[in-house]
Amino acid sequence: MSERKVVLANDHGAVELAAEVMKHLEARGFTVTYLGTDKAESVDYPDKAEEAVIEYRKGGYEFGVLLCGTGIGISISANKMKGIRCALPQTKYAAEKTKQHNNANFIAFGGRIDYPEPVTDILDAYIDAQFEGGRHGRRVEKMMALEGK
């Protein structure tokens, strides 16, 4: 089996969550390229999103994980970049569906959000799901055709 790689980036709003997610991913056997900050000093989430996407585009990564205070700003930033489908699920169900139906290549979370389920469980639902293709493939193609409009 080939190496399973993930890129992970965060700003100052998700330092603790980033450490938890990185530990969890490594326990699941992923090699994590970490581009985040482990300090409380302010870091701009658009910069972290851009760094992660640029790294992801080098190839060999299964997906990326982005974290900021709410997950909103960093996911919007990533979604501005060509070819990125970054989801911001709040539950295991939503995480599973974003892989099955949208084939998201990035997933985002907020370090200051109180989730109804552990973030690591939500992440696992995403990781363990498979893209279903078929009508969902057609819809992903239509979604990606919206870029630049």
pLDDT digits (tens, 9 = 90+) for 32-51: 999 999 999 999 999 999 99
- Give the pLDDT confidence score for residue 148 in this predicted structure: 84
**Structure-block tokens of residue 36:** 């985040």
Q: Tokens 């690591």 sit at which residue? A: 120
pLDDT digits (tens, 9 = 90+) for 62-109: 999 999 999 999 999 999 999 999 999 999 999 999 999 999 999 999
CATH class of the region 4-145: alpha beta
pLDDT digits (tens, 9 = 90+) for 122-139: 999 999 999 999 999 999
Catalytic residue among 12, 24, 68, 86: 68
Buried-exposed string 18-40: b where 16+ CB fall within 10 A, e elsewhere? bebbbebbeeeebebbbbbbeee
Q: Tokens 């919007």 sit at which residue? A: 76
For the entire predicted model, the pTM comes to 0.96
- Give the pLDDT confidence score for residue 89 in this predicted structure: 98
Catalytic residue among 12, 24, 86, 101: 101
One-letter identity of residue 82? K
Report residue 2's pLDDT band, with 50, 70 and 90 as the boundaries. Answer: confident
Q: Which residues contact 57 (CB under 8 A, 6 or more apart)?
A: 83
Told to judge if 101 belongs to the known catalytic residues of this protein, a careful annotator would answer yes
The answer for 56, left when phi > 0, alpha when psi is -120 to 50, beta otherwise, is alpha
Report residue 1's pLDDT band, with 50, 70 and 90 as the boundaries. Answer: low
Told to judge if 12 belongs to the known catalytic residues of this protein, a careful annotator would answer no
Alpha-carbon Rg for the chain, nearest whole angstrom, is 14
Contact present, 147 and 82 (Cβ < 8 Å):
yes
